[in-house]
Structure 1
């Protein structure tokens, strides 16, 4: 990947390996509360970055999806189950993993986790729905569903 100045930015969007996406993010002061522990709502930001860059690494640009056809296409979080196991702290390097559990019709279910130094901190199961530019449900294009399912199987057809 190359940044706008033409410089090389390896792994800026993470990488796909073994059927899942891995993204590394540092915890900054702005992510924490007064005690230096990551504020609970900030985990949603890390998870969103993981989902967005997962799609980007699969060749799916969300900006392009909005103009895919007259109806447009976007993803919206419908349901999320989170489990906070251990806290992340300022300066931790987080590894956010994302993988597709299911992709059908107008929804997909993603499993995500956040770890630091090999220690599991948070898990999430996220149901995402596909909507049009008017906020109504629509079907996911077959090729996109196939790409997500192929990645979920670790690239094994």
Structure 2
């Protein structure tokens, strides 16, 4: 029984030493440089995050009783921001982006008889409609922008 234990101990120690040598060869090598494929968001993806933040801020203002007065020109970059390599501007995107800007401008129209919450929600709903045709991932996040 004692011999069996010694043999087992020797095998375990030997395998640990072998694994240690193997891992040091893989990670300690200067001649082999590892490259990682990291996701880099497109200009449009970054712009969509900016637009989300703008809309979130406007929503908070509306809920606090403040009427937004200055149209954020940053919104207009929707027409020029570079899309991801695997996406392209198509007629659907162009139509939705122009409608969105029109609806978004109405939020800042102080002469409008339409309630502010409705004008704001109409702009957010255009985001949802567009994202239902392309890039559906952010839909749950966009729904959080709606004023209920």
- TM-score, normalised with respect to structure 2: 0.28
The answer to which structure has the higher strand fraction is 1
The higher-RCO structure (CA 8 Å, 6+ apart) is 1
The answer to which structure has the higher helix fraction is 2
Decide which structure has the larger Cα Rg and report it. Answer: 2
